[in-house]
Structure 1
Amino acid sequence: MLDLFTVLNKGGLVLWKHAYTSLSGGPVEALIKNVLIEERSGTDTYVKDTYALKWSFANELDLVFVVAYQKILQLPYIDELLETVKRLFVETYKDTVIADQGIHGDYSNFDSIFTKVLQSLETKYSSNRTRAPRKFEDTKKFETTLKGSQSEVFVTFFLGGGPGTQIANNKSISSSSESGGKLAVDDDEITKNIKALKLQGSPRGPGKGGRKHGTPSRSNSTTPSTTPGTEKKKSQKQMRVWDGQIAKGEMEALDYSGGSNADAMDEDMVKSQHMDEAKLGSKNKQGIYEVQDVDMVEDDDDDYEFADDIDHMDNTQQQQQSAGGTGIFSFLKSISGQREMTADTLDPILASMKEMMISKNVAKEIADRLCESVKSSLLGKKLGSFERVSVVVRTSMESALKRILTPKNSLDILRDIEQAKSEKRPYVITFIGVNGVGKSTNLSKVCFWLLQNNIKVLIAACDTFRSGAVEQLRVHARNLRALQTSGGGVVELFERGYGKDSAGIAKDAIAYAGTNNFDVVLIDTAGRMQDNEPLMRALSKLVSVNNPDKIIFVGEALVGNEAVDQLTKFNNALKDFSGLQNPRHIDGMILTKFDTIDDKVGAALTMTYITGQPIYFVGCGQTYLDLKNLRVSHIVHSLLRN
């Protein structure tokens, strides 16, 4: 059964609805917010809590038809119901909706029409599901009856007897022989078999395992007799050194990040390696240090134009449409603006656009959904006298990209840090991601940005798995201290070595930061593949135990289709393994290696589309100043540029 069917315009006004029950959790409002506004209508079904929602557009009237039902139900008539109700509603109230967007219309008479349509579809599909009942002879229960056993010859004769075999009684044997059966067994053989079964079913003899007291055990009989003088002295076993663990003496010998080695380091050398004045950000009017924006290649003569072949397709379609009529009537039709956008008109342009986005490193699944969403929002719309299909599609795609990429929450981390300081607690940021994407390096870049804003930072070394992870952070902390010559920024490393529980180390680091008045705790975690369940459980435990303020996913700008799998499984792991009623999810992303991709910025769109979360920074180099802002206009321009 349905829960709700409603008709609303694209402004959110409900024109008509038929509700069978009150819906909890606002699934229709969630559909508008998370799907329709964010251009995610390319998906087939939207699931919210226990509800599944489907929808269809009537773009010529700017209407949306939505049906909601329990997601556990399999209702095969939903798609046909949507299209039928849409057609009847448009035919009945087209003039009313055109007049004033349906605001003052009366649609109460549509209840009877909807009820008849729903009943007819339910009857149609229920009759299709009815099947003739199965015959009793075809069921397994029939095999247990006398007739079934005789027909299937279930009587089993055996000669040797043994466990798991069955013996038929004399009646069944005689009936089988009388009916012409070829098998025959004499009474003496049956008696022997019955005695064998009785012996097998009899209780075992005394002693463990049915062994008699007088019978010696196998272990006693095979144990060699030894005397104290002939026993060999066992050699002492050497302690095993597990991977990732080294002795204390070896650690001190290999540690070049502390003691006299660190004291003797030339700070001028560090500054010359990591301080490029051209990459240094600037302070705004409020005195806040801001990183630079990404340098994007600008083409003055491009101006978001599509390729010539798309324009050629547009011209060809217009010629084909105008060729359908001749004379004054076709001329009047061409200037009256009555051309309607159909699937045949949109498909070639959207196909070319999809190929272009995939070439810019957008995941194929995301490109398909986005093009389907744009197509569903344009089908049925009328073109003006001088409008081109390619321009309309480009404009719609541009607005869709901006809606997806525009952050829905504030990106002002410094303001959130000040809020946490007023609550007298440290602000906690956890960095997660797969192996080798640059989590530790970009954590250090974020730390440099915070130090420039006079923030007291504690770095928690919670990567206790990878060899050298703690030493790497120790070197970063030492370099950052050398670069921080003015202001109130302070950086310190909190580490407990290798082989420890990362969740416990993070908890101790947060407690240490609270005691010593640190403003921010940056938690570095071990890299892990999204399919590694034990490590994903450990990550979920770290997040559940410590509840960080921000969970930042660090991903490569080079990644394509793999980004969908990574982000989906990381989010699912945080949800499924947390054990919390309201589990956490990824709060934002940092894209690394952004200087290696030219204009192939598709990973930014893919990650934002999957998570619905913003991109805070992008990494564009190896120094601490190579952290930059990525504007929405940069991504849109790169994706729509040839």
Structure 2
Amino acid sequence: MIDHFVAFTKGGIIKWQHSPSSAANVTHIVNDLISDVFIEESHPVQDSTYSKDIYTARWAVANDQGLVFVCIYKTLLHLPWVGQLVTQARQLYPQLDENEFAAWFHTKLASLEAETVKPEPTKAPAIEKIESVETDSAASGASTPIGGKTRRRGKKGKKDEPVEKKKKGVMRKWGEDGQALDVGSDDDEALDFSSGPSGAQAVVEDVDLASYGGANKQGDFVLKQLGDDEPPIPSKSRFGFLKNIMGGKTITQEDMDKVTAKVEEQLMKKNVAKEVAVHLCDQVSRSLVGCTTNSWTTVEQTVQQAMADALRKILTPSASLDLLHEVQRHKKLGGGRPYVISVVGVNGVGKSTNLSKIGFWLLQNKMRLLVAACDTFRSGAVEQLGVHVNRLSELAGRQGTGEVELFAQGYGKDPAHTAEKAVEYGQKHGFDVVLIDTAGRRHSDKRLMGDLEKFAKRARPNKIIMVGEALVGTDSVQQARNFNDAFGKDRNLDFFLISKCDTVGDMIGSIVNMTYATNIPVLFVGTGQHYTDLRTLSVDWAVRLLTQ
């Protein structure tokens, strides 16, 4: 399916390449990419996509290695996994020799191509009809997930046709002003919900709850943790560069100085911010200097364990993460006022999508939900949320779980006023939870961030959850701090939800960055585009990925 993959130095030396025998010669596309992007800079270097003639090139730069990884394919083909392939190649190339990398690449490519052409399994017939707001076909697959999978059924058609599989994310770039530079990502696309394909309607299919979670002894529906059944990312060894540096001796500060630079580099490759990596290395140095390694314990194991302990100290929450128990307790003692949860974050991180995932989980626990559309500025935001609510309502009705309703006052309204009215409506009509969707905003925009304090005072949310993106990288530290400080001196964030963790492999440093910057724990992790793609964070899983 792809036409060419190449890794080359910034000096133009090809280090590795692959071209299917049936593919056309597209080296001129690589040359044009180098000329337009890296030499003449007529195309934004921050973008990771380049189009020329009938081809699209996706690339990733490994600045520490001075390498550029490029994959070229025909634009007409829908290959959403190319970004993932390029990103993982950049990550793994320095760790593997040429034969190991080639073996990994061909296995990975074959797997991705097989997934692209794999026929969708037969499912039980869905219901005939639901009410929904029709979406533009390009936007619906990227921005509006469903419980299982969505099919389009024509007005007179008798057979279902599978829609495209979910798109994979690419690394988001941020400018000094906090503006997302790759504004062409799926979540930032303008959404037109005013019309859809003639006679088409979305059919919501049943979901697989077994892989999503299950009921505990108290009968509460609890989500699974992320990571227990995740396959490991291939790696030569864990902190293997340390094993011959020292051993069988008392560790001195000089010894640690020799290794902390490499440990720091290893962490930064996994999206850990420099500030955080330096802090972790200092913690490891202080814990090891003066210690003597046991004769049966290698220095590699000693340093790795110390780093794991330092990471675990940051990631282990200091407050309860039992949100469901809090909602249930408030339902009994709250005096009729619904439990209010607000979701905030920068543009394009998937706030509406992840709010709907939280809603789906609460519906499994038989809650009555009111979803408040308080993004009153972005065109299509209210309609997009309406699609989510319609689908959640259909799934809840079919499963016999909770109830969900949309509260909206249109566009151009004061979001704080809309939120306040939503809470009043929820209290009057006996809703258990009000989920408030908010507009995305740049964390460095003081005017937009200033509105959050007013919002918090008017809506008085019980919990404020910030959706952070696994793709964001080292800018996540400042994002987290700015949002945490935006609600006034007496109010902070309560939890993080880290989205798009399925797109970054072991580069999960944003989880550590945000928690380190604010001491706010990660409550949920988003792992895809469906309502069931929500997990709780396993600290052991995160530590394992960051130290391997």
Closer, same or farther: CA 476–603 of 1 in aligned 2, 3 Å: same
Deviation at 1:254, TM superposition (A): 6.9
CA–CA distance in structure 1, aligned partners of residues 433 and 288 of structure 2: 48
* Shift in Å, 1:455: 0.6
The answer for the alignment partner of 1:448 in structure 2 is: 360
Question: Whose Rg is larger?
Answer: 1
- 8 Å Cα contact 2:252-2:290 kept in structure 1: yes
If each structure's helix is expressed as a fraction of its own residues, which one has the higher value?
Answer: 1
2:354 is the alignment partner of 1:420? no
Q: Name the counterpart of 1:396.
A: 306
Match of 1:506 in 2: 419
Count of matched residue positions in the alignment of Structure 1 and Structure 2: 353
Alignment of 1:75-154 (within 5 A): none
**Cα distance, 1:378 vs structure 2:** 2.7
Once the two structures are TM-superposed, the CA of residue 419 in structure 1 deviates from its matched residue by: 1.6
1:446 Cα shift?
A: 0.6
| Structure 2 residue 270 is matched with structure 1 residue 363 | no
Instruction: For 1:474-513, list aligned pairs within 5 A.
Output: 474-484=386-396, 485-513=398-426
Cα shift at 1:559: 1.4
Aligned residue in 2 for 1:587: 494
* Residue in 1 that maps onto 2:84: none
Q: Cα deviations across residues 543-571 of structure 1 (Å, max 9, x unaligned)?
A: 12222111101011111111011111122
Distance 2:466 2:261 in 1: 31
Q: Deviations over 1:411-447 (max 9, x none)?
A: 1111101121122221111101000000000000110
Of 229, 242, 248 in structure 2, the residue corresponding to residue 310 of structure 1 is 242
Checking the alignment, whether the CA contact within 8 Å between 2:193 and 2:384 is kept in structure 1 is no
In structure 2, relative to structure 1, the CA distance for the partners of 1:347 and 1:522 (3 Å cut) is same
Which residue of the other structure, out of 445, 459, 465, is the alignment partner of 1:546?
459
The AA in structure 2 aligned to 1:354 is E
The alignment's C-alpha RMSD in Å is: 2.6
Deviation track 1:452-474 (CA, whole Å, cap 9, x = no partner) reads 11011101111011111100111
1:90 corresponds to which residue?
A: none
Shift of 1:297: 4.2
Aligned-pair CA distance for 1:266: 6.1
In structure 2, give the amino acid aligned to 1:404: I
Structure 1 CA distance for aligned equivalents of residues 225 and 322 of structure 2 = 16
Give the Cα separation in 2 of the matches to 1:396 and 1:373.
Answer: 8
TM-score by length of 2: 0.60
The CA distance in 2 between the partners of 1:377 and 1:398, in whole Å, is 12
After superposition, give the CA deviation of every residue in 1:489-521 in whole Å (9 maximum; x if it has no partner): 110111111111111111111111111111111
Decide whether aligned partners of structure 1 residues 301 and 359 sit closer, same or farther in structure 2, where only a CA change above 3 A counts.
Answer: closer
Separation of aligned partners in 1, 2:538 and 2:416: 34
Task: Give the 3 Å change call, closer, same or farther, for CA 270–300 of structure 1 in structure 2.
Answer: closer
Distance 1:357 1:490 in 2: 44
In the other structure, the counterpart of 2:250 is 340
Tell me if structure 2 keeps the 8 A contact 1:464–1:502. Answer: yes
3-state SS of 2:466 partner: strand
Change (3 A) 1:381 1:517: same
Matched, 1:373 2:280: no
SS where residue 472 of structure 2 aligns?
coil
How far residue 305 of structure 1 moved from its aligned partner, in angstroms, is 5.5
The one-character-per-residue Cα deviations of 1:98-146 (angstroms, maximum 9, x if unpaired) are xxxxxxxxxxxxxxxxxxxxxxxxxxxxxxxxxxxxxxxxxxxxxxxxx
- Residues 193 and 380 in structure 2, CA contact (< 8 A), matched pair in contact too: no
The superposition leaves residues 220-250 of structure 1 with CA deviations (integer Å, 9 ceiling, x where unpaired) of xxxxxxxxxxxxxxxxxxxxxxxxxxxxxxx
| 1:465 corresponds to | 377
Moved more, 466-475 or 349-358: 349-358
Preserved CA contact (<8 Å) 2:239 2:547: no
Among candidates 499, 523, 530, match of residue 436 of structure 2? 523
Residues in 1 aligned to 2:544 and 2:440: alpha-carbon distance in whole angstroms? 33
Shift of the 379–542 alpha-carbon distance from structure 1 to 2, 3 Å rule, reads same
Q: Deviations over 1:236-277 (max 9, x none)?
A: xxxxxxxxxxxxxxxxx97569xxx9xx9867x2126xx346
Residue type of the alignment partner of 1:460: A
Match of 1:270 in 2: 204
Q: Give 2:536's aligned residue.
A: 629
Matching residue's letter, 2:244:
H
The separation in 1 between residues aligned to 2:490 and 2:405, in whole angstroms, is 30
Letter in 2 for 1:287: G
Opposite residue 630 of structure 1, the aligned amino acid is L
* Alpha-carbon distance, 1:599 to partner: 1.3
* SS class of match (1:409): coil
Work out the CA distance in 1 between the residues paired with 2:234 and 2:354.
Answer: 36
Decide whether aligned partners of structure 1 residues 411 and 270 sit closer, same or farther in structure 2, where only a CA change above 3 A counts.
same
CA separation of 1:544 and 1:314: change in aligned 2, threshold 3 A: same
Cα deviation 1:60-118 (Å, max 9, x = unaligned): xxxxxxxxxxxxxxxxxxxxxxxxxxxxxxxxxxxxxxxxxxxxxxxxxxxxxxxxxxx
Q: Is the 8 A contact 1:456 1:488 kept in 2?
A: no
Q: Per the alignment, in what secondary structure is the counterpart of residue 531 of structure 1?
A: coil
1:562 is matched by which residue type in structure 2?
D
Shift of the 279–420 alpha-carbon distance from structure 1 to 2, 3 Å rule, reads: same
Q: Report deviation, 1:382.
A: 4.2
1:4-37 alpha-carbon deviations (Å, 9 max, x no partner): xxxxxxxxxxxxxxxxxxxxxxxxxxxxxxxxxx
Higher RCO structure (Cα 8 Å, ≥6 apart): 2
- Take 1:480 and 1:265, find their aligned partners in 2: how far apart are those partners? 19
Once the 2 structures are TM-superposed, how far is the Cα of residue 314 of structure 1 from its aligned partner? Answer: 1.9
Does the 8 Å contact 2:486/2:492 carry over to 1? Answer: no
Equivalent residue for 1:565? Answer: 478
Shift of 1:402: 1.2
How far 1:629 sits from its partner (Å)? 2.0
Task: Determine the C-alpha separation between the residues in 1 that align with 2:282 and 2:193.
Answer: 57
Amino acid across the alignment from 1:497: G
Partner deviation per Cα, 1:182-208 (whole Å, 9 max, x = no partner): xxxxxxxxxxxxxxxxxxxxxxxxxxx
CA distance in 2, matches of 1:555, 1:300: 23
| SS of equivalent residue, structure 2 residue 506 | coil
Opposite residue 636 of structure 1, the aligned amino acid is V
Which of 501, 506, 518 is the matching residue for 1:611?
Answer: 518
User: For residue 124 of structure 2, what is the aligned residue in structure 1?
Assistant: none
Quick one: which amino acid aligns to residue 500 of structure 1?
K
Task: Tell me, yes or no, if structure 1 residue 287 matches structure 2 residue 219.
Answer: yes
**Conservation of the 8 A alpha-carbon contact between 2:356 and 2:531:** yes
Q: Distance in 2 between matches of 1:311 and 1:382?
A: 15
Unmatched runs of 5 consecutive residues or more in structure 2: 1-191
- What is the rounded CA distance, in whole Å, between the counterparts of 1:531 and 1:586 in structure 2? 17
Q: Secondary structure at the match of 1:583?
A: coil
Give me the whole-angstrom Cα distance separating, in 2, the residues matched to 1:309 and 1:280.
38
Counterpart CA distance in 1 for 2:418 and 2:300 is 56
Which residue does 1:350 correspond to in 2? 260
